[in-house]
Structure 1
Amino acid sequence: MKLSEIKKILPSLENVEFQLENGTFVPEHFHVTEVGVILKRFIDCGGKIREERIINFQLWDANDFEHRLKPEKLLKIIELSETKLGIEDAEVEVEYQGETIGKYDLNFEDKRFILMNKQTACLAEDACGIPLEKQKVKLKELKNSCCTPNSGCC
């Protein structure tokens, strides 16, 4: 989800809610402790140099049980970060503390932001040497096969 999408959604909300993909809610007294831009320059296993720019929100919940971040306040934090840090529209990644700091993609449904699990991937599959997963096919669905049930080839 891009930052511009979040900015369009926030004015329509009464509360800001985050929910993990497994259904667990981030406690309602969370804080957004950081809004920033992360630039990652790296080389993939195929030798290609790549660059990734993302906007990062860090969520944190403390013993401040009376706190509730309102949509207007989060919008002001975002606008301040755009002004002071020169943040441009980009995909948003959310950091949230589980057993370790987790990084999540962001989605929105049913008036709440969903923290979507991220996965690692090979960016240079053609150069990596990992065979592609074989397609599973049912023999009875094969057409023009030289091997039929009564042909004696099997």
Structure 2
Amino acid sequence: MKLSEIKSKLRSLETIAFQLPNGTLVPNHFHVTEVGKITKNFIDCGGTVRSENVANFQLWEADDYDHRLHPEKLLSIIELSEKVLNIEDLEIEVEYQSDTIGKYGLDFDGTNFLLTSKLTDCLAKDKCGIPEQKPKLKLSELSQEGSCCGPDSGCC
């Protein structure tokens, strides 16, 4: 989800809720402690120089049960961050504390903002020698194709 998308959704909401990938909700007394821009400059394992920019939100749970973050407040924090930090319409990455700081993508289901799982990946598979995975066939598919190792083939 990009900044423009969350801003549009916040304008139509009365409350904000973030849902973790396992279905549980972030406690409603959370705070957004940071909105920023993260630039990552790196070299992948194939030697290609890359750069990545994301808008970053950090969610934090406090023991402050009397305050709730309202959509218009988060919208004003985002707009101030865009102006002061010169943030473009970037994809959003959300940090949230579990056993360690987790990084999540962001989506919306019409009610809740969904923290989506992110995965690591090799960006240079064509250069670093990792073979492309071939589709796996089921044993029943092999015997239907007349494999020499079928039950009546006599090869076993």
Report the TM-score, using the length of structure 2 for normalisation: 0.90
What are the residue-to-residue correspondences of 1:66-77 with 2, within 5 Å? 66-77=66-77
Residue type matched to 1:139 in 2? L
Please list the CA deviations of residues 28-78 of structure 1 after superposition, one character each: whole Å capped at 9, or x if unmatched: 010000000001000000000000000000000111001110000000000
C-alpha displacement of 1:140: 3.9
Matched, 1:34 2:34: yes
C-alpha displacement of 1:24: 1.4
Instruction: Please state whether the residue corresponding to 1:35 is helix, strand or coil.
Output: strand
Please list the CA deviations of residues 85-125 of structure 1 after superposition, one character each: whole Å capped at 9, or x if unmatched: 11110100000000110000001104110101111000001
What are the residue-to-residue correspondences of 1:139-154 with 2, within 5 Å? 139-142=142-145, 147=148, 149=150
Instruction: Please state whether the residue corresponding to 1:72 is helix, strand or coil.
Output: helix
**Counterpart-to-counterpart distance in 2, 1:146 and 1:22:** 42
Identity score, percent: 62
Structure 1 runs (4+) greater than 6 angstroms displaced: none
Instruction: Please state whether the residue corresponding to 1:77 is helix, strand or coil.
Output: helix
Structure 2 gap ranges (5+): none
Matched, 1:130 2:130: yes
C-alpha displacement of 1:128: 1.8
Instruction: Please state whether the residue corresponding to 1:82 is helix, strand or coil.
Output: helix
Structure 1 gap ranges (5+): none
**Counterpart-to-counterpart distance in 1, 2:18 and 2:37:** 20
Aligned length: 152
**Counterpart-to-counterpart distance in 2, 1:78 and 1:29:** 19
For the aligned residue pairs, the C-alpha RMSD in angstroms reads 1.6
Q: CA separation of 1:148/1:121 partners in 2, compared to 1, >3 Å: closer, same or farther?
A: closer
